[in-house]
Amino acid sequence: MNDPDPAAVLLVVGDASETVDTLYPLYRLQEAGLRPVVIAPERRTYQMVMHEVRPGWTITKEWEGYQIASDLAFSEVDPTEYLGIFFSGGRAPEYLRYDEDLVRITRHFFEEGKPIASVCHGVEIPAYAGCVQGRRMATVPKCRHDLEVAGGVFVDEPCVVDGNLVSGRTYHDHGHYIGPWIRLLLDAARAD
């Protein structure tokens, strides 16, 4: 007898998505028996980056990271078919947030109360989509304004859980917030 297809979870990427922000949750989803589905503006390979503030620097330094191929374009996604969504960090959310299909997808997960995770600049997508009003979230401090101007509440902690929404500040927090998000996903999968 074949095992049923594991629950699918969306990972949002684009050029300049942060490498660790993207790969860590992707592998953790696989370990949990879930199926990550990488989505982006179009089906192609994207260049990820690595970000870090180094001693002596007051801004983030960037290096090329690995590449990742998207499974689907935003326009091809029917969000009703997916258990949850992850908004990766890096510079990508700065331009991805304006994609109308991504806004549609994002609003679905917030409206339906499905498990959502966000790290670093990932907050820019749900903020632009009008989904963070009154929601408590962690993000990198330089994105605090993006969150607060959209009505969200900035919390400077490694893991913030606000109902179905789990968030962290940077890749340094992955060990704190990814586990609680995966538990929400597994609970939702069992409830189906």
Just list the catalytic residues.
Answer: 121
3-class SS string, the chain: CCCCCCCEEEEECCCCEEHHHHHHHHHHHHHCCCEEEEEECCCCEEEEEEEECCCCCCCCEEEEEEEEECCEEHHHCCHHHCCEEEECCECCHHHHCCCHHHHHHHHHHHHHCCCEEEEHHHHHHHHHCCCCCCCEECCCHHHHHHHHHCCCEECCCCCEEECCEEEECCHHHHHHHHHHHHHHHHHHHHHC
